Amino acid sequence: MKEQLKNPIRNMLQGLAHWMAYRNSMSNIQLIEADAVFVATDILRANLPNDYCVEREVTKTSLPSVKNNRIDIGIKSKTEGSYNCLIEFKLADATNKGYEGDVEKLSQIKQQDKDINCLVVILYRKPCSYSEPKDFINDSGLAKRGKIEVGKNNVKVNVRCVCNSFTSSTNPKSIKTICIELI
């Protein structure tokens, strides 16, 4: 990943964890994936260098290698005119292992363009009926290191980071964002 994108993406992940914890502590409003995408876009725009732009809902017309649907966020170089990073988001309790479909979709792009960074961000909120995947998190709640295979096609990924934010001082449950990167 390009060095100038690492910190903005890390800030976006931690910001999402804090935002979700805040939303969880304030009300029982049901979040949808689009809420996270809008917040992530705003955080990225505030943190990216000026030579990059963020686009939501990147369609298959601008990315002909995507055979189905569209990508949640694309980070594009203004000087090169090409995407440096594509990001898909998945609420963990929306579908059990629904992120595997996003991994498969991004792997199609990665096969055609090895230089593009493809990330899947999995968001966990409380109450969450879906348990944290032990494939990505060790017993201490930290990111597992090394290559991990995901999905039917055994797409190789690594865990870029795991960010936590606690909902309140009286509730030790944490909100997590997990970012996996296709290798």
What pLDDT is recorded for position 31? 76
- Higher model confidence: residue 174 or residue 104? 104
Distance CA 41, CA 47 (A): 10
Whole-number average pLDDT of the chain:
80
- Confidence at 178, pLDDT banded by 50, 70, 90: confident
Answer whether the bond into residue 64 is a cis peptide, omega within 30°. no
pTM score above 0.95: no
Express each pLDDT in 59-79 by its tens digit: 766 666 677 768 999 999 999
Express each pLDDT in 22-57 by its tens digit: 777 666 667 788 889 999 999 999 999 999 999 999
Residue 107, φ and ψ in degrees, nearest 5: -65, -30
What pLDDT is recorded for position 74? 94
What pLDDT is recorded for position 62? 65
What pLDDT is recorded for position 22? 77
- Higher model confidence: residue 1 or residue 44? 44
What pLDDT is recorded for position 16? 87
The closest of 171, 152, 156 to 120, measured between CA atoms, is 156
Q: What is the percent of the chain where pLDDT is above 90?
A: 22
The closest of 159, 119, 125, 166 to 142, measured between CA atoms, is 159
For 15, the token pair is 């910001």
Q: Where are the domains of the chain?
A: 3-182
3-state secondary structure the chain: CCHHHHHHHHHHHHHHHHHHHHHHHHCCCCCCHHHHHHHHHHHHHHHCCCCEEEEEEECCCCCCCCCCCCEEEEEEECCCCCEEEEEEEEECCCCCCCHHHHHHHHHHHHHHCCCCEEEEEEEECCCCCCCCCCCCECCCCCECCCCEEECCCCEEEEEEEEEEEECCCCCCCEEEEEEEEEC
What pLDDT is recorded for position 158? 80
